[in-house]
């Protein structure tokens, strides 16, 4: 039997043995033992004392809850009644959902419910973590790339740190590649464990990654190091790209990035001179002012150097399996409702409008649908949605569902998100813990965890396979799977016919029917590949790799990558530092695990990383509580004097709160309002990537430090 851990997005699969009534887990492949301490201690995590065990109703005030245990029937009845009241008064578009499908295990069912209900206002934190990368890959290749680690002879990491507790499977792949003699280039202002393994460590200035990518493209084109045959036969826009790259000679890039021109040239030559180089995905590229241009630059580098379908595989979606996308049933949502999607005018790349630009390419390739890649196509714009929830949008949004996603802590401008939830008529959270988001809810519904449910994946469409994951144990008696919740609400809202499957296993059988099998037959194998377009098929409007993107041009954007210096209009002379946020710590994953004893012991307090010389200039000593402030907000952290931190910069952790402290808005939502990095960053237009609309957390934002 197999199961897949989703305590992080690494998704490590392992074998399960329950002989003699004792469950043990082990690597599927002993040569790649990718199991971290979180997976090993799965039972301690699922059994922690703070876990939600029963549906709860707030009978107090919003933000200062008084919880009353109620039955599932009462919870679903009352939620449906209030949902109907919102729709009757404001229309179905007044209902919004934020979810993370990976966390609850059911890709597609939320969008299906929303489409039949009539609302286009769906968001996911994948907007700023891999989902946006997928959209930019799609605008270049027509689909996402998959890393072929087995042949890689050069790896380039932009800001990523991998280790036994940070994506262990990829860490083992990296170690194996280095053992074969692969070169490692790390682009990171920090001196990390991964950087210490590198042949080349480029300690660039925060947020200047896009300029470096353009500098590499300049060198590769200028010195003729690109794959002339592939560029001529399989790409469009090379001449325009060459002209744009000419604006970024190594000397200019070196000045922007804070490194030498020789470093730019040498690393470009190493990358282009490889037989099979990799640029693995990393969240650092997803949260910058120039995020789209950086990601476009990475995509272009892969293409012009001839690495596509060697070390960087472009499969495309499978045509013969039931993807999550096919559950969405977008045909149920009228065009007039799609046109109401919030944020689609200013940031259309993620929206229905952006997704429609691939319709013809999908038809030409024989697909009967236009795939929603990574659950982040056909999506509303998060910051614009939160503004509408506050009453600042084109129409009111009055009902909000947070599904396996600690929404309040997951985006920039946490203050504004709190205000948005406070202005709702109905807030429902589906969770396993009493998160800060749950504390602002009217109803909190207890969910199951990955080891307690059978699952068919992937949860979002990016790989051409169907996967299975088996439950290890039964969930607590009153903790339900997300499909049961959706089915219960659909029946009550009069759209039950759209969910004819009585339970999750009937839904699984429906999905596996396309492969001529059933859940029971399929569950013994962890993966079931589907049919994909032949290598060399690019599902872009042109049918080629678009070095100059027709999709971006059609949406009114620059079709080529560029570098724009980030600005901070909220800064003043009292803010001498540049701040970096969002780095993951080994003991945590996003906002999770702060209540788990053995993990909390490793990271008991939220830490500020500051160079010793900078600390001395601020009279800060090791272990002192300090206040870090930007022009937008401030948080309190414990100072850690770190010589690996680049002088003049600060690094703050992501997702910190203290579940053991007092809940409620007046107390800071269990300290989230005191420690979470989302308090520091604005989501106004000046701090957003222009094409995607995601917030800049990594470059150009100024801050100060003061001892408390």
Residues forming the active site: 9
Whether 327 contacts 112, CB under 8 Å? yes
Please give, one letter per residue, the 3-state secondary structure of 464-517.
CEEEEECCCCCCCCCCECHHHHHHHHHHHCCCHHHCCCCCHHHHHHHHHHHHCC
Whether 433 contacts 406, CB under 8 Å? no
Q: Nearest Cα to 435, choosing from 587, 667, 591? A: 591
Which DSSP string corresponds to 302-353? HHHTT-BTTTEE-----SSS--HHHHH-GGGS-HHHHTT-TTTTT-GGGSHH
Cβ contacts of 29 within 8 Å, gap of 6 or more: none
Q: How far apart are CA 124 and CA 122, in angstroms?
A: 7
HSE, side-chain direction, 13 A CA sphere, residue 308? 31
Alpha helices in 544-628 (DSSP H): 550-554, 597-600, 612-617
3-state secondary structure of 451: helix
**Structural element, H or E, at residue 401:** strand 399-403
Q: How far apart are CA 488 and CA 465, in angstroms?
A: 29
Alpha helices in 108-181 (DSSP H): 109-117, 131-141, 168-179
473-483 burial code (b ≥16 CB/10 A, e <16): eebbeebbbbb
Query: Could you give the strand order of the β-sheet that contains 465-469, starting from the edge strand earlier in sequence?
Result: 455-457, 465-469, 527-529
Residue labelled with tokens 């949860």: 459
Distances (CA, A) of 221 to 55, 58, 478, 559, 661: 60, 62, 61, 18, 56
Longest CA–CA span in the chain (Å) reads 70
Distances (CA, A) of 150 to 167, 277, 310, 311, 376: 17, 11, 10, 8, 29
Count CB-CB contacts under 10 A for residue 530: 18
Q: How far apart are CA 331 and CA 322, in angstroms?
A: 16
Whether 158 contacts 200, CB under 8 Å? no
3-state secondary structure of 636: strand
Structure tokens at 217: 């493209």
Whether 380 contacts 139, CB under 8 Å? no
Phi, then psi, of 302 in degrees rounded to 5: -55, -40
Q: Nearest Cα to 472, choosing from 55, 48, 109, 40? A: 40
3-state secondary structure of 706: strand
Structure tokens at 481: 């799977």
What 8-state DSSP symbol labels residue 646?
A: P
Q: Nearest Cα to 663, choosing from 133, 31, 63? A: 63
Cβ contacts of 323 within 8 Å, gap of 6 or more: 108, 317, 371, 461
Q: Is the peptide bond before 142 cis (omega within 30 degrees of 0)?
A: no
Residue labelled with tokens 């033992």: 33
Q: Are strands 13-17 and 2-4 parallel, antiparallel or unpaired?
A: antiparallel
């Amino acid at each position: 039997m197999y199961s897949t851990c989703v305590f992080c997005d690494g998704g490590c699969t392992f074998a399960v043995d329950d002989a003699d009534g004792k469950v043990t887990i082990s690597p599927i492949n002993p040569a790649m033992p990718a199991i971290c301490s979180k997976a090993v201690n799965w039972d301690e995590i699922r059994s922690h004392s703070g876990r939600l065990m029963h549906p709860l109703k707030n009978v107090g005030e919003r933000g200062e809850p008084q919880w009353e245990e109620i039955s599932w029937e009462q919870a679903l009845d009352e939620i449906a009644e209030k949902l109907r009241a919102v729709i009757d008064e404001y229309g179905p578009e007044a209902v919004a959902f934020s979810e993370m499908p990976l966390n609850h295990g059911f890709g597609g069912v939320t969008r299906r419910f929303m489409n039949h209900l009539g609302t286009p206002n769906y968001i996911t934190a994948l907007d700023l973590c891999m989902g946006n990368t997928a959209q930019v890959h799609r605008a270049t290749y027509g689909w996402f790339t998959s890393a072929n680690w087995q042949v890689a002879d050069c790896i380039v990491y932009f800001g990523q740190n991998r280790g036994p507790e940070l994506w262990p499977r990829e860490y083992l792949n990296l170690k194996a590649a280095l053992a074969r003699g692969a070169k490692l280039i790390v682009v990171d202002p920090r001196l990390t464990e991964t950087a210490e393994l590198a042949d080349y460590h480029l300690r660039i200035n925060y947020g200047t990654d896009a300029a470096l990518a353009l500098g590499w493209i300049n060198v590769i084109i200028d010195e003729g190091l690109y794959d002339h045959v592939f560029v001529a036969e399989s790409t469009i826009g090379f001449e325009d790209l060459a002209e744009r790259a000419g604006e970024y000679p190594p000397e200019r890039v070196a000045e922007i990035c804070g490194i030498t021109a020789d470093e730019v040239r040498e690393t470009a030559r190493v990358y282009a001179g490889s037989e099979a180089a990799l640029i693995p995905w990393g969240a650092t590229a997803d949260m910058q002012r120039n995020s789209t241009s950086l990601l476009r630059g990475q995509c272009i580098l892969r293409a012009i150097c001839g690495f596509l379908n060697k070390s960087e595989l472009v499969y495309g979606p499978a045509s013969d399996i039931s993807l999550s996308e096919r559950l969405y049933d977008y045909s149920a949502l009228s065009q007039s409702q799609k046109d109401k999607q919030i944020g689609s005018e200013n940031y259309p790349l993620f929206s229905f409008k952006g997704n429609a630009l691939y319709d013809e390419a999908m038809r030409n390739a024989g697909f009967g649908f236009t795939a929603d890649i990574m659950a982040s196509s056909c999506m509303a714009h998060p910051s614009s949605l939160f503004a509408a929830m506050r009453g600042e949008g084109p129409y009111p949004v009055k009902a909000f569902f947070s599904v396996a996603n600690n929404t309040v802590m997951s985006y920039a401008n946490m203050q504004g998100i709190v205000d948005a939830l406070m202005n709702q008529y109905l807030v429902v959270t589906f969770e396993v813990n009493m998160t800060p988001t749950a504390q602002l809810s009217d109803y909190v519904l207890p969910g199951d965890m990955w080891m307690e449910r059978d699952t068919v994946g992937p949860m979002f469409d990016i790989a051409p396979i169907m996967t299975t994951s088996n439950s290890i144990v039964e969930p607590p008696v009153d903790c339900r799977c997300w499909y049961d919740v959706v089915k219960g609400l659909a029946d009550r809202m009069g759209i039950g016919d759209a969910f004819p499957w009585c339970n999750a296993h009937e839904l699984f059988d429906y999905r596996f029917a396309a492969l001529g099998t059933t859940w029971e037959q399929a569950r013994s194998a962890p993966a079931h590949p589907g049919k994909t377009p032949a290598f060399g098929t690019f599902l872009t409007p042109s049918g080629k790799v678009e070095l100059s993107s027709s999709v971006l041009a059609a949406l009114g954007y620059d079709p080529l990558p560029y570098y724009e210096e980030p600005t901070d209009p909220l800064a003043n002379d009292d803010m001498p530092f540049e701040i970096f946020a969002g780095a993951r710590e080994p003991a945590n994953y996003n906002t999770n695990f702060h209540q788990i004893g053995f993990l909390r012991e490793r990271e008991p307090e939220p830490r500020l990383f500051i160079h010793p010389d900078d600390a001395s200039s601020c009279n800060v000593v090791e272990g002192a509580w300090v206040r870090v402030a930007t022009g937008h907000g401030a948080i309190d952290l414990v100072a850690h004097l770190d010589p690996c931190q680049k002088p003049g910069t600060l690094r703050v952790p992501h997702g910190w709160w203290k579940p053991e402290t007092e809940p409620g808005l007046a107390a800071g939502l269990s300290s989230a309002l005191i420690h979470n990095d989302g308090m520091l960053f604005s989501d106004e237009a000046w701090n957003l990537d222009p094409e995607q609309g995601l917030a800049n957390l990594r470059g150009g934002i100024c801050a100060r430090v003061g001892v408390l």
